[in-house]
Amino acid sequence: MAKLKEKDVTKQIRGVLRTLGIFHWKNWSGPMTYPKGIADILGIYKGKFLAIEVKREGWEPPEPTNLQAYKHFKEQQDFLISIRDNGGYAFFAQSVDDVIDRLGLQSKVTPLFSSKIVNKGLDSELGAIKSKSNTMARDKV
């Protein structure tokens, strides 16, 4: 099975954060961005700053011998450490599961995906059926 790319992992993580109502945004960085190493997803969770540096599935930190990649990694790591040192949530994530674990969202996600989303789909289908049957009943009268 192919491993997910960083952009796909980012979409999945943002989807879960959005579903749970966690305020966040995708940070777009470039060569002139300051501070260096700012995380991909920023937000607020439980009144604290949230920083998630998203990586593709299977990512491993670069070796110090790869100077450019290692420098970039260290900038990202330093940014996350600064957020954590100041009381925020900050971490690397390669999957939605990483985010669920690091933010302690297991109890929110399990009921959500086992009932709310499924029931939402059923409720909208039932609502459409009821609406259609009410219209048909009115038309017959």
With 90 as the cut, is the pLDDT of residue 88 above it? yes
Q: How confident is the model at residue 113 (pLDDT cuts 50, 70, 90)?
A: low
Considering only the C-alpha atoms of the chain, give the largest distance between any 2 of them, rounded to a whole number of Å.
81
Measuring CA to CA, which residue among 95, 87, 92, 81 is closest to residue 44?
Answer: 87
Name the pTM for this structure.
0.77
Q: Residue 46 corresponds to which tokens in the numbers above?
A: 């439980």
With 60 as the cut, is the pLDDT of residue 125 above it? no
Reported as a single tens digit per residue, the pLDDT across 23-50 is 999 999 877 888 899 999 999 999 999 9
Measuring CA to CA, which residue among 1, 10, 22, 5 is closest to residue 109?
Answer: 22
